[in-house]
Structure 1
Amino acid sequence: MHRSSARSSRPSSRRAARARRRWPTCSLVGSEPPARARDADAAAKRRVLIVCHANTSRSIIAEALLRRMLATRRRDDVVVRSGGIAPYARDSSLVSLDARLLLREDAIDVPADATSCDLKLHREHIRDADLIVTMTGEQRAMLAAFVEAEGKEVVTLREAAGESGDIDDPAGREAEFHRVCRDEIRRCLAKAFDRLAPPSDNGDEG
């Protein structure tokens, strides 16, 4: 009896372990907001959702860099998540090694077992977002099929920065292309920061 019970509990234990590793709940060394912000996600003033196709590279990089920018400015009033929107996006796909290595250059440590979030299965992240930022116009169009996105502010990252065009997918490209992609994401985030995380009414960013 005990043996059967232990065996039947293993699948749920494995699922729980995968859920704990999923990227939105991972701790990013050097970029995680203060503990009081993590404890107050539900009461945060603003929620930003960053979207790409599979949530294994571009949106992961953008999420990590934006978290770093917020932490540097001592902004704990913004919660950042990311997810994938494409038909082939899957929960628990491993984050791209290229993305992890690039972020390591910024002293941001993404765990080797960090995994993706499929927004088709986690529509609550779309529902709860105050601002949704996509990497491409195609991804913005994909969101139109989700009732949870109705009435939401949805922009591409370049649009948020006052520009036009897409952030190209670096998957399968050479290392230097990945680096250029990371740098372009960083530049656009910096340029769009006040739109992504508007200053509070009293001008206090602390």
Structure 2
Amino acid sequence: MIKIKVLFVCTGNTCRSIMAEALFKKILEEAGEKYKYIETMSAGTAAIDGGLVSGNTIRVMKEEDIDISKYKSKRLTYSMIKEADLIFTMTRYHKDFVLSMAPEAKEKVHMLKGFAGDNDKTDILDPFGYSDEIYRKSSKEIKTALEKAFDKIKKGN
């Protein structure tokens, strides 16, 4: 079976993109064996390779029964963009950044909320530096968009 690689991109790869990757993995697991062909990865436009995930992110993901405490951040590379079949960015800035690195990736780069059917100009809330409550809000926003995006992926769109 052909593998599909989905890449999530934010700034530091310590909050939004790692939440998106973790939540999407959970959605795929819950969907069953049929979707094992979809692989996930995440990275940040300004991430420090090997950096720690935000403590807030770890706590909020634990509330979803997801353990990301051992995850290390990754800086976005051209090879990641090239490898990915579908790239979801958290903001317009991230989308533009990806396209500045790889203009040929235009057809596979989408703002997550835009792909999910929401306004393509809508960014995902950046919780960095705020309380767990803001992280929960961002996580919920991401999860809702991912569920809609997954429905679209299942239909082959």
Give the TM-score normalised by the residue count of structure 1.
Answer: 0.69
**Residue 92 (structure 1) aligns with:** 50
What is the CA deviation profile of residues 25-82 of structure 1, one whole-angstrom value per residue up to 9, with x for unaligned ones? xxxxxxxxxxxxxxxxxx6431110000010010010100100000111110100110
Indicate the structure (1 or 2) with the bigger Cα radius of gyration: 1
Moved more, 168-177 or 76-85: 168-177
Give the alignment's Cα RMSD to 1 decimal: 1.7
Task: After TM superposition, list the pairs within 5 Å mapping 1:193-204 onto structure 2.
Answer: 193-195=150-152, 197-199=153-155
Whichever residue aligns with residue 115 of structure 2, its letter is A
Whichever residue aligns with residue 184 of structure 1, its letter is E
Task: After TM superposition, list the pairs within 5 Å mapping 1:29-178 onto structure 2.
Answer: 44-74=2-32, 75-86=35-46, 89-111=47-69, 113-119=70-76, 122-147=77-102, 150-164=105-119, 165-178=122-135
Partner Cα separation in structure 1 for residue 103 and residue 15 of structure 2: 24
Gaps of 5+ in 2: none
Matched residue pairs, number? Answer: 152
Contact 2:90 2:112 in 1 (8 A): yes
- 1:151, distance to aligned residue in structure 2 (A): 4.3
Segments ≥4 residues shifted beyond 2 Å: 147-152, 197-200
Pick closer, same or farther for the CA change 1:72–1:176 going to 2, 3 Å: same
Give the TM-score normalised by the residue count of structure 2.
Answer: 0.89
Partner Cα separation in structure 2 for residue 199 and residue 191 of structure 1: 11
Overall identity of the aligned pairs, in %: 36
User: Which is bigger in relative contact order (C-alpha 8 A, separation at least 6)?
Assistant: 2
Contact 2:99 2:106 in 1 (8 A): no
Contact 1:98 1:175 in 2 (8 A): yes
